[in-house]
Chains A and B, each alone.
Chain A
Amino acid sequence: MKAVFIVYNQANTERVEYMLDRLEIRGYTQWVDVRGRGSVSGPPHLGTHTWPEMNSAVMTVVPEEKVEQLLEKVKSMDAINDEVGVRAFVWNITESV
């Protein structure tokens, strides 16, 4: 089992939700309106007057074989437009209840 943390520009909400559905990923946790700033480029998404854009985030725990597929889709989503980004980070789940 791996945890995939996807942070995305709000404008990608529908795409992300659709992607999870298509990949038959049922379980996830979503944070709406989260703030953040990219490490390399792009404007910060802070929801302020200066930087009005906002992000949302999804954390989903998926079987290992699905991770690759998921990352691939995230990558192609990110490629749609430079200014509307999406990032995914993966880490291990050691135990769960």
Chain B
Amino acid sequence: MSIYKSAVKRPITTLMIFMAIIVMGIYSVVHLPVDLYPEIEFPAITVMTTYPGASASDIETNVSKVIEDGMNSVDRLKDISSVSYENLSVVTLEFQYETNLDEASNNIRDALDLIEKQLPDGCEKPVIFKFNSSMMPVLFYAVNAKESYPGLEKILDEKIINPLNRVDGIGSVGLAGQPNRVIYVNVDPSRLDAYHMTIGQIGNVIRAENQNTPSGNVKMGKMDYQLRVEGEFTDSRQLNNIIVGTSDGHPVYLRDVATVKDTLKDTGLHERINGQRGLRMFVMKQSGANTVKVAREVKKHLAELEKTLPPDVKIETIFDSSDFIKDSVSNLSQTLMFALLFVVLVVLAFLGRWRATFIVALTIPISLIVAFIYLYISGNSINVISLSSLSIAIGMVVDDAIVVLENISTHIERKSSPREASIYATNEVWLSVIVTTLVIVAVFFPLTLVSGMTGVMFRQLGWIVTITVVTSTVAAITLTPMLSSKLLKLQPKKEKPSRFSYDNTFLRALNALDRGYEKAIKWSLHHKKVILLGALAIFLSSMYLAKNLGTDFMPQTDESRIQLKIELQSGTRVEVTDKVAREVEGIVHQKAPEVKLISTSTGSDDSGGFISMFSQTGSNIINMMMALDKPSQRHRSVWEVAAALRKQLDEIPEVENYSFTFTSGMEASNTVDVYIYGYDFNTTSHLANVIASGIKEIKGASDVQISRDKEKPELKVVLDRDKLALHGLSTASVSAMIRNRVEGLTATEYREQGDEYDVIVRYSPKYRSSITDLENISIMTPAGKYIKLKEIGKVEEYWSPPNIEHRQRERVVKVSVTPYKTSLGQLAGQIQQKIDKLDVPTGVMIDVGGAYEDQQESFTDLGLLLLLSLVLVFLVMASQFESFKMPFIIMFSIPFSFAGVVLALLITGTDLNLVAALGAVLLVGIVVKNAIVLVDYTNLMRDRDMELYDAIRVAGKSRLRPVLMTALTTILGMLPMAISGGEGAEIWRPMGISVIGGLVFSTFITMIIVPVLYAVVSKKGERDKKTALRKKFIFMDKK
């Protein structure tokens, strides 16, 4: 028994099966995590090697190069780059997408074992570091405080960070710019000299005084007592009264030679929240944890924990990456609901019956819910890609059900019982329904085979559409006949339909449309040349216009946040940088009222800190994070705000360079990178500068950055070895002494309430703030004599050489540019033109890459995909029609859909990016489906012995509605996507636009061109089938 017969005969079983699917689907929906994109792991592993004391160029030749060469044997390696710093080599290995990184890191470890012997002796063991997107903080908080500021670190540590770390899914919670309590002993060197003392001595005395020592036990009577010597300081003021030595028989107290300050650590990192002192707290999730869930948990716990904080401590959100995800997904879900509504309305308008509409509409949730089951089983998430896929599918899943339902209705109108009509009507159409589904699958299934980044993004789309469309077909030949047999009834024809009834409104309009179309076909069949030439002209002119189309990689999203990095003259001290930062903050407040929170950090933290992994820091660098109002609450996008700020920044003289970034993710970088390969620093640096200034002239080029750091002014102490030897000193001892005096000597730890604070002895700042001061540093010789530093050496100012970058084992400088109001492709084109005009010295090679390169790769992938889809579609159609000619007629409509895409993108001013291009690929399936319906029916009419032109006319007239319906459901399904605004709309809007444009255009063209072409290619034999047949069976005509 066939499937549809079983379904109709056992309605309860059928219903139960679909109920089971729905229940499983709902379970999946509830348990599915929400994310922005399908999980993309940036496949990179970093090998870090320290080689203390080596200069950048030593590191380059002895470490970086050795490691780079050793990595040749590692599988699936795509790109290798390195940066050689002073003391440190960082080699980054980029793998092809979807490489198993555990395996890769094992391979790297093996390769490192082989080359370990070639590394220099003093070099430490290379450390393998797997970069993981979970290391990107998911939440940023700004913490402000007034009275509690000095103790903020301790308060936060106890009351917030420790409890939060226990929350499931949180990787770690970190702080940046937190105040550290420290006790400084600021020594006056002149007094020290006068008393014949050194920093080291003072440090030793302090250390010796700050001690608690267990000293055995004493037995007295019946008791046994522990004996202790208690000397630890209980108050930092006690330090003042330590006797550090004697002079002429008088004790010298510490207060005589130094001032003791119990204060906050002088840090090079200054954090300001809206100009106020504050610090940043950031939350990292565990690898694999869901951002939205983690953020929700953190917020829930934080709301509780905040109550335990002192009242002056305020925690504000700077950035919550889950906000954008949640908003985008809910925005898109809303779009999906509108699409659903529109599709149902279209079906109702065409069918004109509530029950029929209900039966057809029911296939939508069932098909879509199966997609959720797929997502749940395959471990995916609800994300922008999966929801867009559903939007695309929503218009397609009703088609099959409509075909089946229409045929059942026809049978019922012939007064068959609904039960029989359902069975036999389905029997008549089920095969052709499956074939059209195959065409759709032929287009979408290849998507699941794409590799690389494009593949990661669009594999889901391929699967989801394939699965939902297949499900819809299954539902159409089981559930639809079953429900029709139960719900559909023969409607008695009304004698006089009322003025506003369906028959008098929609039906009349549709009938008129049918007649008009019939006339149009008649005309075009008699003006074939005009039509064909016209079509050709339209196609060629749109392809000509395509030249003006900008190309981009991924759409940029407005996540309501701006990150700004400002560089001042290198070597600028942090106080000056701070002043500029305040000035910039003022400008932001004035020019960008949309910005509700600015978190500024200037300078760098000497103790490293996690945050330095995400942003370049330095005393001359300002990093600003701005949180903006939600897109719906402001008129300007983040890019427009940034453009307004750029103008202002250009006018600040101290600002050397700046760059804006708008996203947290690294996958969305949107720059054109120019790589300049060459060994000689001067040549390549010069060239980089020439190129950078050339690029700055291009309209639309913004944030031009050169990757090689500028040379930085530094001071170095050059010691005279002869004189050192004369005084019995060595470089090591002198450098230790200088370090003690300038950086400070950590003498001991001061303990208070279980926490330890450093006691640091050093020269008072005023005695170490000029070259002369440094030269006057007193050095004690082993003989106990005091000499000045200038006696044994000199302090020189010099320029420290830059870091050395490698890419593909060659020295490289990168100039990166971000497009503004222009497209990536156009910008890259213009840059290439500039470079072509340059006179490039021998030995230097210039290469344009970056996101532009990714774009080129992805477009190539998509091109191949399109080709594969076309081949598959051809195969399916050729076998369906048993003809090589018919597929060509049908595929003729494809170029026009592309023409429509081009026009739609040009009119709306959208760039052709990966998402829009994907929309164009998807069109192939939908457009071809329309043409198939038309050609198939024409064939049918021909087989039923109609004359060629009559067949074409009749087929056109009868298939107009199904074609319009398919097109309209898809167009209206995509419309909410195309016109939606708000969070994340940038991602899917291009797809909506390209599909709608392509479909509107190609539907119109198809309905005229395909019939005309059909007439053109039908040869004599086909036109007069009777004569042809007669020739085959001549025995009948023999006399």
Q: Does B3 contact A (CB under 8 A)?
A: no
Q: Is B414's CB under 8 angstroms from A11's CB? A: yes
Chain B residues with CB under 8 Å of A84's CB are 414-416
B432 & A49 in contact (Cβ 8 Å cutoff): yes
A14 interface residue per 8 A CB criterion: yes
User: Does A94 touch B at the CB level, under 8 Å?
Assistant: no
Chain A contact surface mostly = loop
B418 to chain A, nearest CB (A): 11
**390-436 of chain B: CB within 8 A of chain A:** 411, 414-417, 419-421, 424, 427-429, 431-432
Judging by beta carbons under 8 Å apart, are B424 and A81 in contact? no
Say whether B943 faces chain A, with CB atoms less than 8 Å apart: yes
B219 at the interface (CB under 8 A from A): no
Chain A, Cβ-Cβ closest to B420: A11
Q: Are A81 and B420 in contact (CB under 8 A)?
A: no
In this complex, how many residues of chain B approach chain A with their Cβ under 8 Å: the count is 17
* A64 / chain B contacts, CB cutoff of 8 Å: none
**Is B940 among interface residues, defined by CB-CB distance under 8 A?**
yes
CB-based contact A81/B415 at 8 Å: yes
Tell me the complex Cα distance, A46–B421, Å.
Answer: 17
What is the CA–CA distance of A80 and B424 in the complex, to the nearest angstrom?
A: 18
Q: Which residues of chain A (1-57) have a CB below 8 Å from chain B?
A: 10-15, 43, 49-54
Residues in B with CB closer than 8 Å to A10 are: 420, 424, 427
| Contact indicator per residue, chain A 47-79, by CB within 8 Å of chain B (1) or not (0) | 001111110000000000000000000000000
Question: With A and B bound together, what is the CA distance between A96 and B535 in angstroms?
Answer: 73
Q: Please name all residues of chain A whose beta carbon is closer than 8 Å to the beta carbon of B428 when the two chains form the complex.
A: 52-53
In whole Å, how far is B106's beta carbon from the nearest beta carbon of chain A?
Answer: 58
The size of the chain A interface, using a CB distance under 8 A, is 17
B1032 contacts the other chain (CB 8 A):
no
* Residues of chain A contacted by B1039 (CB below 8 angstroms): none
Question: Chain B residues with Cβ under 8 A from A43's Cβ?
Answer: 944
Encode B750-778 as 1/0 by CB contact (under 8 A) with A.
00000000000000000000000000000
Most buried by A among B416, B419, B420, B432: B416
The answer to whether A11 touches B943 (Cβ under 8 A) is no
Contact count A vs B, C-beta below 8 Å: 41
Specify which of A14, A50, A51, A83 is in contact with B417 (CB 8 Å cutoff).
Answer: A14
Given that A52-B428, A54-B424 are contacting pairs, would A11 and B940 also be in contact in the complex, using a CB cutoff of 8 Å?
A: no
Which of A43, A50, A54, A80 has the most CB atoms of chain B within a 10 A radius of its CB?
A50
Docked Cα-Cα span, A11 to B415, in Å, equals: 9
Contact with A along B50-73 (1 / 0, CB 8 A): 000000000000000000000000
Asked whether A49 lies within 8 Å of B421 as measured between CB atoms, the reply is no
Interface residues of B in 512-528 (CB under 8 A from A): none
**Which one of A15, A52, A83 lies within 8 Å of B414 (CB-CB)?**
A83
For the complex, give the distance between the alpha carbons of A51 and B940 in Å: 9
Chain B residue nearest in CB terms to A15:
B417
Q: Taking the nearest CB of chain B, how far is it from the CB of A63, in angstroms?
A: 29
A13 adjacent to B414 (CB under 8 Å): no
A50–B944 contact, CB under 8 A? yes
- Find A81's partner among B414, B427, B943 (CB 8 Å cutoff): B414
Residues B416 and A11 in contact, CB atoms below 8 Å apart: yes
Taking the nearest CB of chain B, how far is it from the CB of A52, in angstroms? 4
Give complex CA distance A15, B414 in Å: 14
**Other-chain contact of B943, A14, A50, A80 (Cβ < 8 Å):** A50
Complex contacts, B420 vs chain A, CB 8 Å: 10-14
Residues of chain A within 8 A (CB-CB) of B427 are 10, 52, 54
CB distance from A48 to the nearest CB of B (A): 8
CB of B429 within 8 A of CB of A80, answer: no
Q: What B residues does A11 contact at CB under 8 A? A: 411, 414, 416-417, 420-421, 424
Interface residue ranges, A against B (CB under 8 Å): 10-15, 43, 49-54, 80-81, 83-84
Please list the 7 inter-chain residue pairs (A to B) with the smallest Cβ-Cβ separation, ordered nearest first: A52-B428, A50-B943, A11-B416, A81-B415, A81-B414, A83-B414, A10-B424
A–B Cβ pairs within 8 angstroms, 26 of them: A10-B420, A10-B427, A11-B411, A11-B414, A11-B416, A11-B417, A11-B421, A11-B424, A12-B416, A12-B420, A13-B420, A14-B419, A14-B420, A15-B417, A49-B431, A49-B940, A49-B943, A50-B943, A51-B944, A52-B427, A52-B428, A53-B428, A54-B427, A81-B416, A83-B414, A84-B415
